[in-house]
Structure 1
């Protein structure tokens, strides 16, 4: 038995090492029409088997017709990329934005990834925002700050409008929402460019500032440029190295310790100087608190919220602004925790999740890229997770429901905030952020300012996912396994949380570093009696 186990592990290790080379070798393969039709059937069969509320936004007959028409349209062989470009728009008709995909492109071996970590391309450090049908630079990292406020016109020989048009076809809307795609493309633009255009050593970008067009050529370079710096030093000049005093060493150590502590508490965003969670008072009298949450999936959070609401309670603040713009989601337990500070009565945060399997947590085990350690750990915990899932999943009126702990009645936090709450939203307010926004809207706890959320009001298919790999083309899709909803609904179905006060940022706002949504909220607070 032991020999068989060891042999199995060795075989798994060898196959995982060879999988990258095998995958890359088949990228240019021309697949027969029969093989591609087989992949289409496989895709639809898996979605029907795994995803709850599959026909929420499109009737079954219409989706059947879409897949059938696609099969009939294939008359000649295609490679994986060509097939991806016609299959993905059909999968997107399901209109569940969590259903992502993997673009069939070259993968890198462990050795290659190690080398790439030593290189950097400043183009990937740019942040852009969408306004007035264009993309505008909002952050540059440590790169040329003169680019701030510039419009991104073209990359290489392709214009930004053409790139955005192509990228919109590669992922779905959430229901019938129209604010999601442009905001998500802007938020992930450099990542989408890398995903769809492939690995590049350099990128040429045309920018526009005012009436002037100019080009920047970004080239990959070594992160550790100490050797270059040494070569640039004038050898005729000798610099004296100053020795630090004990007090200076102690201060430096203390600063480093504080930085580490802050990084943990506030959740430092990798590769930037930003934190996931920030809180500050916006006025000298501490009557207006501003809580900015960029995501729900970075580091511990309980201490941060405990300290934040203690400050609000101590100052007897009257207003709290919660900024959920560009927060595309994350952990439901953090969102649940925050809501406990925003209500003064018992509550049920979400309803039991609709599922199509009794073991939703186990369904994502043994994924296509599971390594040896993943397989070992998943095998060890498999019996426990299976029992847990079976115990938590119940059938009612022919529908399976997974009973989250968040679907139980909960008590408000002792330091719950009793003042007025204002929530800032936009098209990239999605997933867990939309669930929180729906709960606050449905309980009439907050005033919303900005744009319609990208996430749907009536719930979303998320929670747990299954990665499926098509048998022939090896294209991958991520299938949502749980329909997560609050008790609140709206009609018509398929739209997000609409703001009470609609404010859409303009290109001029970005160029002048003006936050029109926050300004409007402060104006609203100033004119609201208490």
Structure 2
């Protein structure tokens, strides 16, 4: 038996190596026009099969024309990456921000993966902002902190403006919104650059700081050689430093840090917290809560602790900062909203789907590892029962019932004071759904820019991954229309603001936050 198991393990290793080699050869070659046309058809068929609102913003006739025109334009062989750049604008014309297309990347065998995991690339941890049609480095780690505040003049031989305009053409916001693009690509610039250029051993960036122009070559380094920052002092919010109290016993300190980090959702790669809370203002105390996303940590405990503090202090003015919040958990925003209302509420409507069993295409697809697909098959009776209980067909339309689509009660310690919500084009997905609920109930004053996510909802929830058979370009297709309880016309725009403010580079250089400053001044005026 031991010999058989050893032989099986050896066979798996060799077949894996062979599969990696075959895959890399596949994505490295030129594909014939017919192969690429077949991939175009495969992509469109997947969209028609799984996307519940494919023609919400672009008509069927127009979308048919775009896919047909793309096929007719392919007359010579193309690489996978060149094909990706042709297909992306057509996929983006669906105007659904959660619909993502990605070029293939090389695969690595086990030894190569191990070596790769031991290396770090500081470019990934850099944070950028695109303001005044220029790209600025706003945060970095280790020695790269010396570069913070610099303008990026070039990445290799391309200007940031040229690159961002190109990447904007390859993505979509929800509907017709315009605030999403520059902010989204700028804040995620390293990810977009690597995605669209593939793996590189190094990246050469030209910076400008005051009157000095210099070039920095960023290399992959062994993690043990990369500089780290202590967890005891981390940037958390506007003018706030979070310090973990030092304890006498190391074990007790580690336990406290773990609990503290869990509540706030510690982000190890950037040494930041997902959720922070502080008191700001001089004339009167104003609660300031910054939520970077709705995805990690233990939010229930954080919100309970925070609103208990607000209640005990009798605070009557609060800022909820959702700027650059790309979304996340529907359950978390449902829980958070329950602290902002004193009436029973429903967050979203039942979600339109194209199948009674949406969890199967989510789990069983050619982008998921074999072990995930195997487990899905093993537990298929449980998954099937769950899906059938959660879905219902009404007049030829299938709906999936989220927990958030049921009526919920407010929290006993709900906040009844004045609420200001800060948003911008990077406020997307779940943060836009929360904003819609607050806007629809006239619960808050909105400051900043129109949200990048649509007021009336978005197609997300579960995603079907699909790798095209020839080019290996992949799609991530949203399968659930997460529709907000409150709706407006016309459809396809974000949550509007009551006071529009667009930050400038001068604000950043002066370390000013114009949105927060406006809110504090408005609180002062209103007494």
Q: Does structure 2 conserve the Cα–Cα contact (< 8 Å) formed by 1:148 and 1:511?
A: no
Q: What secondary structure sits across from 2:271 in the alignment?
A: coil
What do residues 253-273 of structure 1 show as CA deviations (whole Å, max 9, x unaligned)?
A: 443332222111111012122
> Is 1:518 matched up with 2:519?
no
Alignment partners' CA distance in 1, 2:225 and 2:248: 29
Alignment partners' CA distance in 2, 1:514 and 1:168: 28
Q: What secondary structure sits across from 2:136 in the alignment?
A: strand
Deviation at 1:7, TM superposition (A): 11
What do residues 409-459 of structure 1 show as CA deviations (whole Å, max 9, x unaligned)?
A: 110111111011111101110000100001110111111101111101111
Aligned to 2:130: 130
Deviation at 1:286, TM superposition (A): 7.1
Aligned to 1:364: 362
Q: What secondary structure sits across from 1:467 in the alignment?
A: strand
> Is 1:261 matched up with 2:285?
no
Aligned to 2:240: none
- Shift in CA distance, 399/369, structure 1 to aligned 2, threshold 3 Å: closer
**How do 1:301-320 and structure 2 match up within 5 A?**
301-320=299-318
> Is 1:340 matched up with 2:356?
no
Aligned to 1:470: 468
Q: Does structure 2 conserve the Cα–Cα contact (< 8 Å) formed by 1:12 and 1:372?
A: no
Deviation at 1:97, TM superposition (A): 0.8
Q: Does structure 2 conserve the Cα–Cα contact (< 8 Å) formed by 1:268 and 1:275?
A: yes
Q: Does structure 2 conserve the Cα–Cα contact (< 8 Å) formed by 1:9 and 1:372?
A: no
Deviation at 1:17, TM superposition (A): 5.1
Q: Does structure 1 conserve the Cα–Cα contact (< 8 Å) formed by 2:27 and 2:472?
A: no
Aligned to 2:172: 172
Deviation at 1:9, TM superposition (A): 10
Aligned to 2:319: 321
Alignment partners' CA distance in 2, 1:278 and 1:307: 12
- Shift in CA distance, 404/13, structure 1 to aligned 2, threshold 3 Å: farther
Aligned to 1:22: 22
Deviation at 1:400, TM superposition (A): 1.2
- Which structure 2 residue ranges, 5 or more long, are not aligned? 1-5, 227-245
What do residues 274-320 of structure 1 show as CA deviations (whole Å, max 9, x unaligned)?
A: 10111111147873111111111112211111101100110111011
State the superposition RMSD in angstroms: 2.3
- Shift in CA distance, 279/18, structure 1 to aligned 2, threshold 3 Å: farther
Q: What secondary structure sits across from 1:171 in the alignment?
A: coil
- Shift in CA distance, 446/8, structure 1 to aligned 2, threshold 3 Å: farther
How many residue pairs were aligned? 504
Alignment partners' CA distance in 2, 1:403 and 1:224: 47
Alignment partners' CA distance in 1, 2:411 and 2:14: 52
Alignment partners' CA distance in 1, 2:341 and 2:143: 43
Aligned to 2:141: 141
Alignment partners' CA distance in 2, 1:198 and 1:520: 42
Q: What secondary structure sits across from 1:38 in the alignment?
A: helix
* Rg larger in structure: 1
Alignment partners' CA distance in 2, 1:20 and 1:295: 35
- Shift in CA distance, 209/344, structure 1 to aligned 2, threshold 3 Å: same
Deviation at 1:210, TM superposition (A): 2.7
**How do 1:33-112 and structure 2 match up within 5 A?**
33-112=33-112
Aligned to 1:208: 208
Alignment partners' CA distance in 2, 1:212 and 1:342: 49
- Shift in CA distance, 16/365, structure 1 to aligned 2, threshold 3 Å: farther
Give the structure-2-normalised TM-score: 0.91
Q: What secondary structure sits across from 1:175 in the alignment?
A: coil
Aligned to 2:428: 430
Aligned to 1:188: 188
Q: Does structure 1 conserve the Cα–Cα contact (< 8 Å) formed by 2:361 and 2:464?
A: yes
- Shift in CA distance, 87/191, structure 1 to aligned 2, threshold 3 Å: same
- Shift in CA distance, 452/249, structure 1 to aligned 2, threshold 3 Å: closer
Q: What secondary structure sits across from 2:143 in the alignment?
A: coil
Q: What secondary structure sits across from 1:348 in the alignment?
A: coil
One of 445, 453, 456 as aligned partner of 1:455: 453
Q: Does structure 1 conserve the Cα–Cα contact (< 8 Å) formed by 2:368 and 2:465?
A: no
Q: Comparing 304-313 with 373-382, which one deviates more in the overlay?
A: 373-382
Deviation at 1:343, TM superposition (A): 0.5
Q: Comparing 21-30 with 93-102, which one deviates more in the overlay?
A: 21-30
Q: Does structure 1 conserve the Cα–Cα contact (< 8 Å) formed by 2:180 and 2:426?
A: yes
Aligned to 1:495: 493
Deviation at 1:13, TM superposition (A): 7.3
Deviation at 1:11, TM superposition (A): 8.0
Deviation at 1:404, TM superposition (A): 1.1
> Is 1:222 matched up with 2:219?
no
What do residues 36-74 of structure 1 show as CA deviations (whole Å, max 9, x unaligned)?
A: 111111111110111011111111111111011111111
Alignment partners' CA distance in 2, 1:343 and 1:335: 13
Deviation at 1:392, TM superposition (A): 1.6
Q: Does structure 1 conserve the Cα–Cα contact (< 8 Å) formed by 2:424 and 2:451?
A: yes
Q: What secondary structure sits across from 1:177 in the alignment?
A: coil
Deviation at 1:125, TM superposition (A): 2.2
Aligned to 2:400: 402
Q: Comparing 59-68 with 507-516, which one deviates more in the overlay?
A: 507-516
Aligned to 1:152: 152
Q: Comparing 248-257 with 478-487, which one deviates more in the overlay?
A: 248-257
What do residues 382-406 of structure 1 show as CA deviations (whole Å, max 9, x unaligned)?
A: 2112111112211223211111111
Q: What secondary structure sits across from 2:172 in the alignment?
A: coil
Alignment partners' CA distance in 1, 2:319 and 2:40: 47
Q: Does structure 2 conserve the Cα–Cα contact (< 8 Å) formed by 1:126 and 1:190?
A: yes
Aligned to 1:243: none
One of 360, 368, 383 as aligned partner of 1:385: 383
Deviation at 1:33, TM superposition (A): 1.4
Q: What secondary structure sits across from 2:362 in the alignment?
A: coil
Deviation at 1:136, TM superposition (A): 0.9
Q: What secondary structure sits across from 1:26 in the alignment?
A: helix
